[in-house]
Structure 1
Amino acid sequence: MQKRPLGNSSLTISAIGLGCMGMSEFYGATNDAESILTLNTALDEGINFLDTADVYGPFKNEELVGKVVRKRRDEVVIATKFGIVRDPNEPAKRGFSGRPEYVKACCDASLKRLGIDTIDLYYQHRVDPTTPIEETVGAMSDLVKEGKVRYLGLSEASAQTIQRAHAVHPISAVQSEYSLWSRDIEEAVIPKCKELGITLVAYSPLGRGFLTGQFQKYEDLAPDDFRRNSPRFMGENFDKNIAIVQLLTRWAEARGITPSQLALAWVLAQGETIVPIPGTKRVSYLKQNLEAVDIMLSKEELAELDRISPKEAVAGTRYVEAMMKFLNG
Structure 2
Amino acid sequence: MAASEEVKVPRIKLGSQGLEVSAQGLGCMGMSEAYGPPKPEPDMIKLIHHAICRGITHLDTADMYGPHTNEILIGKALKEGIRAKVELATKFAISFQDGKKFDVRGDPAYVRACCEASLKRLDVDCIDLYYQHRIDTSVPIEVTIGELKKLVEEGKIKYIGLSEASASTIRRAHAVHPITAVQLEWSLWTRDVEEEIIPTCRELGIGIVAYSPLGRGFFSSGPKLMENLAEGDFRKVCTYVQAENLEHNKKLYERATAIASRKGCTPSQLALAWVHHQGNDVCPIPGTTKIENLNQNIGALSVKLSAEDMAELESIASAGVKGERYGPEISTWQNSETPPLSTWKRT
**Does residue 50 in structure 1 map to residue 59 in structure 2?**
yes
Query: Of the two structures, which has the highest relative contact order with CA contacts closer than 8 Å and spacing of 6 or more?
Result: 2
Residues 79-133 of structure 1: CA distance to partner in whole angstroms, max 9, x if unpaired? 000001114xx43211100011000000000000000000000000000011111
Question: Which among 18, 27, 48 is matched to residue 26 of structure 2?
Answer: 18
**Does residue 231 in structure 1 map to residue 222 in structure 2?**
no
Q: Tell me, in whole angstroms, the C-alpha distance in 2 between the residues paired with 1:167 and 1:322.
A: 34
Q: In structure 2, what is the equivalent of residue 255 of structure 1? A: 263
Q: In structure 2, what is the equivalent of residue 68 of structure 1? A: 77
Deviation at 1:296, TM superposition (A): 1.3
Q: Is the 8 A contact 1:70 1:116 kept in 2?
A: no
Deviation at 1:172, TM superposition (A): 0.1
Deviation at 1:241, TM superposition (A): 1.2
Q: In structure 2, what is the equivalent of residue 77 of structure 1? A: 87
Residues 260-284 of structure 1: CA distance to partner in whole angstroms, max 9, x if unpaired? 1101100000001111000001111
Q: In structure 1, what is the equivalent of residue 209 of structure 2? A: 201
Deviation at 1:309, TM superposition (A): 2.4
Question: Which among 306, 317, 326 is matched to residue 333 of structure 2?
Answer: 326
Residues 7-31 of structure 1: CA distance to partner in whole angstroms, max 9, x if unpaired? 0222211110000000000112322
Secondary structure of 1:47's aligned partner: coil
Secondary structure of 1:300's aligned partner: helix
Letter in 2 for 1:315: K
Question: Which is further off, 213-222 or 231-240?
Answer: 213-222
Q: In structure 2, what is the equivalent of residue 315 of structure 1? A: 322
Q: Tell me, in whole angstroms, the C-alpha distance in 2 between the residues paired with 1:215 and 1:44.
A: 33
**Does residue 136 in structure 1 map to residue 144 in structure 2?**
yes
Q: Is the 8 A contact 2:223 2:246 kept in 1?
A: no
Question: Which among 299, 308, 312 is matched to residue 291 of structure 1?
Answer: 299
* TM-aligned CA distance change 1:128 to 1:322, over 3 Å: farther
Letter in 1 for 2:320: A
Letter in 2 for 1:86: F
TM-score (norm 1): 0.96
Deviation at 1:78, TM superposition (A): 0.1
Question: Which is further off, 14-23 or 237-246?
Answer: 237-246
Letter in 2 for 1:66: G
Letter in 2 for 1:37: K
Residues 177-202 of structure 1: CA distance to partner in whole angstroms, max 9, x if unpaired? 10001010000000000000001100
Q: Is the 8 A contact 2:129 2:160 kept in 1?
A: yes
Q: CA RMSD, aligned part only? A: 1.3
Q: Is the 8 A contact 1:318 1:324 kept in 2?
A: no
Residues 27-76 of structure 1: CA distance to partner in whole angstroms, max 9, x if unpaired? 12322121111100000011110000000000000000111124311101
Q: Tell me, in whole angstroms, the C-alpha distance in 1 between the residues paired with 2:223 and 2:315.
A: 23
Q: Tell me, in whole angstroms, the C-alpha distance in 2 between the residues paired with 1:325 and 1:48.
A: 27
Question: Which is further off, 145-154 or 67-76?
Answer: 67-76
Letter in 2 for 1:79: A
Q: In structure 2, what is the equivalent of residue 173 of structure 1? A: 181
Secondary structure of 2:180's aligned partner: strand
Deviation at 1:217, TM superposition (A): 5.8
Q: Tell me, in whole angstroms, the C-alpha distance in 1 between the residues paired with 2:328 and 2:172.
A: 26
Q: Tell me, in whole angstroms, the C-alpha distance in 1 between the residues paired with 2:247 and 2:331.
A: 22
Q: In structure 1, what is the equivalent of residue 123 of structure 2? A: 115
* TM-aligned CA distance change 1:112 to 1:27, over 3 Å: same
Q: Is the 8 A contact 1:215 1:221 kept in 2?
A: no
Question: Which is further off, 266-275 or 7-16?
Answer: 7-16
Residues 136-188 of structure 1: CA distance to partner in whole angstroms, max 9, x if unpaired? 11111110011100000000111110000000000000000100010100000
Q: Is the 8 A contact 1:218 1:238 kept in 2?
A: no
Q: Is the 8 A contact 1:126 1:154 kept in 2?
A: yes
Q: How many residues align?
A: 326
* TM-aligned CA distance change 1:271 to 1:112, over 3 Å: same
Give ranges in structure 2 of 5+ residues lacking alignment: 1-8, 337-347
Secondary structure of 1:175's aligned partner: strand
Q: Tell me, in whole angstroms, the C-alpha distance in 2 between the residues paired with 1:22 and 1:6.
A: 24
Q: Tell me, in whole angstroms, the C-alpha distance in 2 between the residues paired with 1:110 and 1:217.
A: 33
Q: Is the 8 A contact 2:179 2:206 kept in 1?
A: yes
Q: Is the 8 A contact 2:222 2:250 kept in 1?
A: no
Q: Tell me, in whole angstroms, the C-alpha distance in 1 between the residues paired with 2:67 and 2:247.
A: 32
TM-score (norm 2): 0.91
Secondary structure of 2:224's aligned partner: coil
* TM-aligned CA distance change 1:229 to 1:291, over 3 Å: same
Question: Which among 259, 265, 271 is matched to residue 279 of structure 2?
Answer: 271
Deviation at 1:214, TM superposition (A): 4.9
Letter in 2 for 1:327: Q
Give ranges in structure 1 of 5+ residues lacking alignment: none
Q: Tell me, in whole angstroms, the C-alpha distance in 1 between the residues paired with 2:145 and 2:322.
A: 35
Secondary structure of 1:213's aligned partner: helix
* TM-aligned CA distance change 1:70 to 1:165, over 3 Å: farther
**Does residue 306 in structure 1 map to residue 309 in structure 2?**
no
- Counting aligned pairs with the same residue, the percent is 51
Question: Which is further off, 20-29 or 112-121?
Answer: 20-29
